[in-house]
């Protein structure tokens, strides 16, 4: 990736809906150059897609939590399959340290969160879990 690619990704990170013509004007290159760069970045996997980032107004009313999970050895594949079926589980990360998985969960209320946590705790292969409810967002640099 060269400086033009980095600048292009920076502009798209700020506004994924920006037009190719506007990108070309801002970066002072031809539209065909931008189109070719975008195609190359997409094909190489640098750009995996274009998405929507919800603002606070859309996230209001959603209870968010991180759940740290310790699992039995060799139980990860089966647990991941079951976690995929729980709609409230937004993301699952593998981790290093004393926990094996970190789950990002979003629910409408504490009652649903409680049910989801019970489902996770009842899965065979789950040894233990620890829940952290998100109270407020202080910094959000996610693209």
Each residue's pLDDT expressed in tens, for the chain with a length of 143 residues: 899 999 999 899 888 899 999 999 999 999 999 999 999 999 999 999 887 776 666 666 689 999 999 999 899 999 999 999 999 999 999 999 999 999 999 999 999 999 999 999 999 999 999 999 999 888 877 65
Phi-psi region at 124: left, alpha or beta (left = phi > 0; alpha = psi -120 to 50): beta
pTM check: above 0.75:
no
Residues 74, 113 share a domain: yes
In a domain, 138, yes or no: no
Q: Identify the domain containing residue 21 by its residue range.
A: 3-43
- Same domain? For 14 and 68 the reply is no
Q: Are residues 61 and 39 in the same domain?
A: no
Neighbouring residues of 86: CB distance < 8 A, sequence distance ≥ 6: 116, 119, 120
Q: Which helix (H) or strand (E) holds 15?
A: none
Per-residue pLDDT tens digits for 7-19: 999 899 888 899 9
Report yes or no: 90 and 104 within 8 Å, Cβ to Cβ.
yes
């Amino acid at each position: 990736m060269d400086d033009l690619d980095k600048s292009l990704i920076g502009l798209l990170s700020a506004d994924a809906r920006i037009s190719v013509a506007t990108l070309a004007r801002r970066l002072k290159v031809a539209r065909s150059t931008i189109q070719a760069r975008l195609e190359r970045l997409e094909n190489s996997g640098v750009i995996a897609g274009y998405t929507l980032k919800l603002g606070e107004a859309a996230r209001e009313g959603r209870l968010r939590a991180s759940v740290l999970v310790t699992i039995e050895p060799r139980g990860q594949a089966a647990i991941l399959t079951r976690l995929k079926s729980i709609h409230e589980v937004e993301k699952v990360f593998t981790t290093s340290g004393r926990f094996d998985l970190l789950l990002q969960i979003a629910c409408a209320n504490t009652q649903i969160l409680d049910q989801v946590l019970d489902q996770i705790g009842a899965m065979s292969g789950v040894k233990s879990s620890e829940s952290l409810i998100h109270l407020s967002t202080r910094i959000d640099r996610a693209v």
